[in-house]
Chain A
């Protein structure tokens, strides 16, 4: 099998007595879209938090990279972004009192070189880079169909558009791997379809993705492979069809009546 782009091995994370992740192994290959599903509290978000450097795992390894995979252990969050991993959040974390455009421009930060002091002194290079960043941000706003709202404040957007803005902001760092944490949660069916189309467009550009999602109508059509977590453990892994037939999954997850998470938002 080809070398994986992201390799999570034996990852364990505890919060006091709660074992959020237990010996989790996950491989994501270049160009692949992996659906990550599992009931509430299964550890999905915790896995993203460990990969992106927000949390330190208690045990296990995380390696990332196309040619020479590099361990991400101990790297600060902003250094992990530089390696090419971007993410969105389950509970949207936009900069609400900044404009839509500014939100995306900030996402380009790690692709610029002048640094904070250069920016403060408004050197020629810094100004050119700002120009570039604004153009790049507008391209991404077009991709997520928000170009007409560029000057609006982040917080003023309706919920569904905020989710799109968060995706644009994550893409602005030009990632190799995009981690989407329940991007469809709280969207109505029409918005969900539009989001699905957006993710398809991103996928068509060749980006590798891991998608946490409860709604099977979203997960199934775009995932090349689905991984199921339950109580911090990987309980199944396979094609979307196989997963839907897997007895353990049905018991742990699909058998459970639709949870209130979506309705609650």
Chain B
């Protein structure tokens, strides 16, 4: 493998990771957009998605279904499960304190994260769980670069979801209501828009994207642990901040960028230092662009 091929290989790996980060980062940024809250429990929702998918796969294991049917069903299970989880968290934990000072919401979010971490540990155990491969191990050799079917699936799935989300947000009434809510919740309510429902749906959509991220993560790494929620969640949050929190295209770009940087860091520096590498980049960027790459938005609320 020559050095150019190594570069391409690391970029391909990084893009895969970045696509997953981007899906999760979108949830952080969407929720922040409508309620100005960092939902620290979002990383746990992500890994809960992986566990939900695993649970469905294990339940179906005796039925000898084709792999694509299992994939479809476990996606549905993860998406519905996490959608319900996101809805429940908003309804039970965040809505009652929406008018309370910021610090209360902050602490509630951290508490929710700990609660879910422990709940997941109790339900699914503290040790690594094997995640079935599901998708056939097809690989292509392009020059010195290896691509796998699972990588293509991850790129295609996250690409399609991001395009779909962009369409939803830009051109449907729901999307308009979401954007309007993020700008002025009160004015929105006074146009007859049920802002509580808009916020709940935003949480649900963000959680559903995280669920897909969790499933893809499991398929890619073949092992999951409840701790991954914290670490991957933190990285996705970093990606959202990198792109400018509250800015959806920013979250997508931030996720991909972080994945690529990590891929390069793992390839050229040291795989063990890749986490440090990602956060160092963030710190440096924020020194020069405190609102992230695309964060032109300042709180405009009266």
Q: Which residues on A sit within 8 Å (CB–CB) of B176? A: 98, 102, 105-106
Partner of B191, one of A76, A96, A110: A110
**Given A95-B179, A95-B184, A116-B201: A107 and B191 within 8 A (CB)?**
yes
Report the count of interface residues on A (CB-CB < 8 A).
38
CA distance A209 to B250 in the complex (A): 44
How far is the CB of B293 from the nearest CB of chain A, in Å? Answer: 17
Q: Is A119 an interface residue (CB 8 A)?
A: yes
How far is the CB of A55 from the nearest CB of chain B, in Å? Answer: 11
B184 touches A116 (CB 8 A): no
Q: How many residue pairs, one in A and one in B, have C-beta atoms under 8 Å apart?
A: 91
CA distance A105 to B190 in the complex (A): 14
Within 8 A of B (CB), among A91-105: 91, 93-98, 102, 105
| Size class of the B contact interface (CB-based, 8 Å) | 20 to 34
Q: Is A81 an interface residue (CB 8 A)?
A: yes
A93 touches B184 (CB 8 A): yes
A106 touches B177 (CB 8 A): yes
Q: Is B174 an interface residue (CB 8 A)?
A: yes
**Given A116-B174, A116-B197, A130-B173: A96 and B300 within 8 A (CB)?**
yes
Within 8 A of B (CB), among A129-176: 129-130, 133, 169, 172-173
**Given A78-B193, A122-B172: A116 and B177 within 8 A (CB)?**
yes
A120 touches B192 (CB 8 A): no
Q: Is A112 an interface residue (CB 8 A)?
A: yes
**Given A76-B189, A116-B177: A95 and B172 within 8 A (CB)?**
no
Residue of A nearest to B183 (CB): A95
Flag B132-145 by CB within 8 Å of A: 1 or 0 each: 00000000000000
Within 8 A of A (CB), among B142-180: 168, 172-174, 176-177, 179-180
Q: Is A233 an interface residue (CB 8 A)?
A: no
Partner of A119, one of B172, B184, B188: B172
B residues within 8 Å of A by Cβ? 168, 172-174, 176-177, 179-180, 183-184, 186-195, 197-198, 201, 297, 300, 302
Q: What are some 24 contacts across the A-B interface (CB < 8 A)? A: A77-B189, A78-B193, A86-B190, A86-B191, A93-B184, A95-B179, A95-B180, A95-B187, A97-B183, A98-B183, A106-B177, A106-B188, A109-B193, A110-B191, A114-B173, A116-B174, A116-B197, A116-B198, A117-B174, A119-B172, A119-B173, A119-B174, A120-B201, A122-B172
Further contacts, 8 of them, CB under 8 A, given A97-B183, A119-B172:
A77-B189, A78-B189, A96-B300, A98-B179, A112-B173, A114-B173, A116-B174, A120-B172
